[in-house]
Amino acid sequence: MTALDFTKFDGLLPAVIQDAQTDKVLMVGFMNAEALAATRASGQVTFYSRSKSRLWTKGETSGNFLEVVAIIPDCDDDTLLIKANPKGPVCHTGADTCFGETNEDPTKFIKYLESVISLRKKSAPDESYTADLFHKGINKIAQKVGEEAVELVIEAKDNDQALFIGEAADLFYHYFVLLEAKEIPFKMVIDELKERHSKK
């Protein structure tokens, strides 16, 4: 990190706090050099309170700390972007963010599912259905993907939404098992889709 410029705001730097997982902007505060040093040392976001003229660690009273993932200066070295994992609502009102937004990423569960399937790959076959699939090999996994795809198509012809969603979930799950068996991260599939989209 280059030398930061604390001179523009009387010894303070604006600090934009962003959820490291969802990319939502959570809040904005100010840091002086001491607050930044405390943040780096503790791994928890610490600001300088202009109203109280002292350092304060976000969550020191509520327990809703902001655990630091990365500290990134802007191009002028006078503002910080801090990526963090919040341990609860961020705003003093109880809201997820200080901007009234819900801090949620619908794709977050996908990342979790991918990690769980990866862990199951290392488990004994009698410990879980997923582990058993890996034990039976790629042909069985591919067969299950095909079967679930056919069942989804069949349900698409009817009007039972609950059954259709259930079959869609089954296909989605087995598809992720197949990706893991092939050692292909889901991100590579997304990158391929992005590449195709850029060529249109």
- Range with lowest mean pLDDT among 50-54, 101-105, 173-177: 101-105
pLDDT tens string 32-54:
999 999 999 999 999 999 999 99
Question: Is the model's pLDDT at 105 over the cut of 90?
Answer: no
Question: Is the model's pLDDT at 81 over the cut of 60?
Answer: yes
Q: Would you state the pLDDT for residue 2? A: 65
Q: Would you state the pLDDT for residue 199? A: 85
Q: What is the CATH number for 113?
A: 1.10.287.1080
Name the residue range of residue 122's domain: 108-198
Domain co-membership, 78 together with 45:
yes
Nearest to 177 by CA among 128, 140, 141: 141
Question: Is the model's pLDDT at 1 over the cut of 60?
Answer: no
Q: Would you state the pLDDT for residue 112? A: 86
Domain co-membership, 190 together with 156:
yes
Domain co-membership, 54 together with 122:
no
Domain co-membership, 78 together with 150:
no
Residue 94 belongs to some domain of the structure: no
Q: Would you state the pLDDT for residue 52? A: 92
Q: What is the pTM of this model?
A: 0.64
Residue 48 belongs to some domain of the structure: yes
Phi then psi for residue 71, to 5 deg, are -120, 120
